[in-house]
Amino acid sequence: MNHLKLLLGFAALFLSSCPQSSIARDSPFTRHGTGPRYWIAYEECFVTNVPLSEERWKANIDWMEKTFKPYGYDMICNDGWIEAAQTVNENGYITKYNSDWKNGFSYWTKYLQERGMKMGVYYNPMWLTRAAYEQNLPVKGTSYHTRDIVGYKSFNDPLYWVDVDKPGAKEWIQNYVRYFKEMGVAYLRIDFLENYETNYGTRRYEQALAWIAEAAGDDLFLSLVMPHCYNHAKTELKYGDMIRIDDDCFDGDWDFVSNRRRGQQKDHWPQFGNAFDGFIGFADVGARGQMILDGDFMRMNKLANDNERRFLFSLMIMGGSALAIADQYDTIGDHAWVYQNPEMNELNSLGFAAKPLSYDFRDAANSSRWIGQLPNGDWVVGLFNRESTPQTRSIDFRRELGIEDGQAVNVRDLWERKDLGGMSGTYTVELRPHECKVIRIQHKTLKIEAETASVRDGAKSIK
């Protein structure tokens, strides 16, 4: 009975901190609770500041199929540097990631499908290319043309914003979403949302998202990137499946993971400078049935050591994030193992998202301790050391997990992939700088094993 009361109190604590006035988008993706596992074409573009070549795109797809598809990484997505996508169809919609590419989205979607993989597309359906504007193409399903729906403020010279207050804008945006869906695209990464809301206001921003969500339905995963997240993501919760909760990956080093603007929050994008603070700040809305949190991309080749690599991957797992590999076939080095841990990836498959024991940035020890429960009742605990000095971290089984005093539980280290044996009371570990531990507490295991042994011994005695 005490165990039940503790669990109910734990749940009430989390629910009380959620924005009760917000209604979250209900989709298969939010009901699942965690983001996809995939490869993103970010690193090469960021390093060179030019669009990805088609040859490198294919090389990375083939590498992902061989190296990571067996571990559930079954999607490939282009990324920004999209301004050179000026090849459009009769409706004004882009057909390729880049006009210099030989093949378009439809070719690559089929290429991936033939390999049992999915296509993700980085694009914003509120954009309208310069090519579509200059050709003044008809807006599908209306009597309007592309020049009729552009707004007073452009995103940049090659890309215009569509003004949702203009007739024909709804059809443009929704048909763009349907265009990608009909092509077989599974994931739409919609970027620079802060720019639209800043220039056109929250009312028009929300209207655009509502149209996108309506057109996406249950078939297209909506990733909302660079949102202001005003009022604790009240608008984004209604219309997206996943939101970015921290600044860009950029160099992908420890600064991105934990240090950049640590302990500071802004009231607009990017509210948080590093991934760890972002997960703390939005953890109360990051849960199954609410919103998936996106910590941005991982570049394992840029971290200083294996402790930092395990730390970053564990943080993404505990936060319920998408697991987005930005390393490439020729940059990852010997670090593929980080993404290939089956016991960690299983948590993502189960829709697992944990919570910190404190949402207070000033409480470094407790905001670095994360806990969550799996559908079968097992607890998963993540203990993190963000500091530059060794730190002791512990979890009290009774007080923090509701496991009764004296009840033995099996503790399993998910990185070592081995059982630590039966324990009761408290688990304590000394963590080196930038080190973490992720343990799975199987409080039913020992009881089941004891009962099995009892039956087996009884059978022997009968013989």
**Residues designated catalytic:** 191, 241
Cα(first)–Cα(last) distance of the chain, in Å? 40
User: Distance of alpha carbon 211 from its chain centroid, rounded?
Assistant: 22
Handedness of CA 178, 179, 184, 186 (dihedral sign): negative
Encode 248-266: b = buried (16+ Cβ within 10 Å), e = exposed. bbeebbbbbbbebbeeeee
How far apart, in whole angstroms, are the C-alpha atoms of residue 168 and residue 215?
15
Cα distances from 25 to residues 221, 242, 266, 340, 401, in angstroms, run 11, 10, 25, 31, 30
Query: Which structure tokens are listed for 117?
Result: 């993989």
For strands 118-122 and 75-77, give the pairing.
parallel
Query: Which structure tokens are listed for 43?
Result: 């690193």
Handedness of CA 452, 458, 462, 463 (dihedral sign): positive
Reference 88, options 130, 150, 144; nearest CA is 130
| Dihedral Cα 45, 435, 366, 4, nearest 10 deg | 100
How far apart, in whole angstroms, are the C-alpha atoms of residue 400 and residue 371?
9
Query: Please, which contacts does 60-65 make with residues 24 or more away whose CB atoms are closer than 8 Å?
Result: 60/328, 60/329, 61/108, 61/111, 61/112, 61/115, 61/117, 62/329, 63/328, 63/329, 64/39, 64/117, 64/325, 65/115, 65/117
For strands 409-413 and 436-442, give the pairing.
antiparallel
Query: Which structure tokens are listed for 245?
Result: 């909760």
For strands 150-154 and 323-325, give the pairing.
unpaired
How far apart, in whole angstroms, are the C-alpha atoms of residue 271 and residue 265?
5
How far apart, in whole angstroms, are the C-alpha atoms of residue 256 and residue 273?
7
**φ, ψ for residue 153 (rounded to 5)?**
-125, 125
